[in-house]
Amino acid sequence: MPASTVNEIPFRDQMETPLVGRAPRLLLLGSGELGREIAIEAIRLGAEVIAADRYAGAPAMHVAHRHHVLAMTDASALRQLVETERPDAIVPEIEQIATDELVHLEAEGWHVIPRAEAARATMDRERIRRLAAETAGVPTSKYGFADDEEGARREMKRLGLPCLVKAITSSSGHGMTVVRAPAELGAAYREASEHGRIVNPRVMLEEFVPFDAEVTVLTLRHYDPAGQIRTTTLDPIAHLRPGVLYHESWQPAAISPSVAGQLSHVAQAVTDRLGGLGIFGVECFVRGDRVLFSEVSPRPHDTGLVTLGSQWNSEFALHARSILGLPYSGPELTVPAAAHVIAGVSTGGNPTYGGLSSALGMPGVRLFLFGKPESYPDRRLGVAVARGSTITEARQRAEFAAHAVEREVGVGRTLAPGRESPDAPRRPIARWDARRY
């Protein structure tokens, strides 16, 4: 049975004006690059947006109507913020949130996106895996859990090698290690227990599946024009992680109709169990004609950054529309597009970007620089999104553009407001040449 629809955002057919009227008010809990795009799309639809995060200058704070800095794992601080701003919808965008307090707030009548229990379940790998495998009944890889290194070693022997050791609460690959030999288990356990989104001795172990493709199925729960809640799945997105962090994605993924049908079934089964409104990123492994559920994010997904080029309505536009209670008729038509991460290479404040003439000197490319105030190695500072006549061409263009900028990423002096940065020496511009690819 699908989750209850109690306390859903109401269907909306009218809007007022932000600040001077009673426009719907969204409180973003987490204001990173995904939150920034949500804020932009919500503002376009007439919403009032408040951005909150643990640090000042987070990307969504650049565009929101106002912002707050607080530790969102502090339940009392989180409650005070909600009671001060009185939002129409509380929109979690990261994992480090006092989710138990969200459950209490929802019970008092506040709207949490997609639902408080869904936010809590999907931020906990154990909860969501058990919901998917044991409640929704979708196929998954073999898995287990352990509270200490000894228990992790027992689970490793049961699952076999290689296997994955993951933090219970994490995202984007943080706190995850592939274990290929017994001697690697100790370091993997420490990585998972100490370097996830929160410190937690309990970890998840999972069999290593030699998959053909790792895909994300963006799944939208929304109102239709008649005010009925529907579930729409979008074209699967393929992605690569050279290490454990998201690095590249493209849409549409090259999969058979049979696999596409299985992916849609798995995504709808899991998200209908979670309930609520908004977009979900459902991650699955594909091996041959077999589909295995991996995990789900109850918000726009990092691999979905490609939809900024591949779809008329990006995942952020769809999420904003749904959580505001506005209707949607889909699914989206897609064109071949790819996204490639621009990562930090050094540590420091005021990240600087070069290579822009090279990156933007080819057709079909857009750059999204996130404006994060600090850089460190492998931190996601931006993304290049490109269209092409084929997926191969789109991936080549996105990679070229991202690398053109990434080679020139540095850190600069943090200057006082209104001060111009000193001129930097100019380097020769690398020109796009399709003959090289």
- In whole angstroms, give the CA distance from residue 144 to residue 197: 20
- 383: nearest Cα among 326, 332, 307, 325: 307
- In whole angstroms, give the CA distance from residue 238 to residue 116: 29
End-to-end CA distance of the chain: 50
- In whole angstroms, give the CA distance from residue 432 to residue 249: 21
How are beta strands 163-167 and 203-207 bridged, if at all? antiparallel
380, 387, 395, 397: which is the annotated catalytic residue? Answer: 380
99, 169, 171, 271: which is the annotated catalytic residue? Answer: 171
206, 214, 248, 295: which is the annotated catalytic residue? Answer: 295
Decide if 366 is catalytic: no
- In whole angstroms, give the CA distance from residue 304 to residue 291: 20
Decide if 295 is catalytic: yes
- In whole angstroms, give the CA distance from residue 108 to residue 103: 9
Q: Is the dihedral of CA 64, 66, 70, 76 positive or negative?
A: negative
Decide if 283 is catalytic: yes
- In whole angstroms, give the CA distance from residue 386 to residue 398: 5
**What are the structure tokens assigned to 288, written together?**
């041959």
How would you class 382 by CB atoms within 10 Å of its CB: exposed for 0-12, middle for 13-18, buried for 19 or more? buried
Which phi and psi (to 5°) does residue 287 adopt?
A: -135, 110
117, 206, 283, 406: which is the annotated catalytic residue? Answer: 283
31, 303, 307, 334: which is the annotated catalytic residue? Answer: 303
Which phi and psi (to 5°) does residue 62 adopt?
A: -70, -25
- In whole angstroms, give the CA distance from residue 310 to residue 431: 24
57, 173, 330, 371: which is the annotated catalytic residue? Answer: 173
Decide if 186 is catalytic: no
Are 266 and 291 within 8 A, CB to CB?
yes
- In whole angstroms, give the CA distance from residue 140 to residue 134: 10
Q: What is the largest CA-CA distance in the chain?
A: 63
155, 206, 302, 406: which is the annotated catalytic residue? Answer: 302
Decide if 380 is catalytic: yes
- In whole angstroms, give the CA distance from residue 304 to residue 324: 20
| Chain position carrying tokens 């809007």 | 15
Length of the chain as a residue count: 437
Decide if 302 is catalytic: yes
Query: What is the H or E stretch that residue 359 is in?
Result: helix 356-359
Angle among Cα 343, 406, 363 to the nearest 5 degrees reads 115
Those residues whose C-beta lies under 8 Å from the C-beta of residue 308, and which sit 6 or more positions away, are: 37, 314, 316, 339, 366, 368, 385
The catalytic residue positions are 171, 173, 283, 295, 302-303, 380
